[in-house]
Structure formats: structure tokens, C-alpha cells
Amino acid sequence: MCLAVPGKITELHDNAQATIDMMGVTRDISLRLTPEAQAGDYVLVHAGFSIQVIDAEEAAATIELFQEIDELAEDELLAAEPA
């Protein structure tokens, strides 16, 4: 199974590299699999590579799902704490 996280390209670099903002965290990634990606685009990132360019709506929906998972995990941890 592959888990890809959306990120917004904030800066392009030489050698098909870019800096992205991934839910508030910046990372440098490779654009070798998505050479058409430009600054301002959203991409799905897996293992340090952008694997697909996506639109802003899809990125927002995916980020919202990640946030819901985080909230559910937090609720589960609170429920599991001894009283």
C-alpha cells in the first residue's frame, strides 16, 4: 500500500528538485516523476518524490481527511487513558 501526502510547491530548484509545504512542514523533494509540476502546484508526495500533480480542491479534501484521522486517534488515546 502506498501513502501519499499532498504538498504545495513553494520553490523550484535545479536538478528537478523542489521545496514543498506539507501541512505546515517544509521538505525538499524530487520532481523527476512529475516534470510538469510548477511552483504553486499541489503534488502527492511519496518517499521523497512527487508522484502526481493534483488540483487544490483534491489537496484540501485529502488534508481534511488526514486531520480527521489525527482527531480520531487523539480521541482513541484519551478514551484509553485510565480514569
Query: What does the DSSP assignment read for 18-48?
Result: EEEEETTEEEEEE-TT-TT--TT-EEEEETT
Rounded average pLDDT over 51-80: 84
Write the Ramachandran bin of 2: left for phi over 0, alpha for psi from -120 to 50, otherwise beta: beta
Range 38-48 burial, b when 16+ CB lie within 10 A, else e:
eeebbbbbeee
Judge contact between 12 and 39, C-beta under 8 A. yes
The CATH number of the structural domain formed by 5-80 is 2.30.30.140
35/23 Cα distance (integer angstroms): 22
42/40 Cα distance (integer angstroms): 7
Given this model, what pLDDT does residue 16 score?
A: 96
78 pLDDT band (50/70/90 cuts)? low
Kindly report, residue by residue over 13-23, the tens digit of the pLDDT: 999 999 999 98
Given this model, what pLDDT does residue 75 score?
A: 66
72 pLDDT band (50/70/90 cuts)? confident
Kindly report, residue by residue over 19-61, the tens digit of the pLDDT: 999 989 999 999 999 999 999 999 999 999 999 999 999 999 9
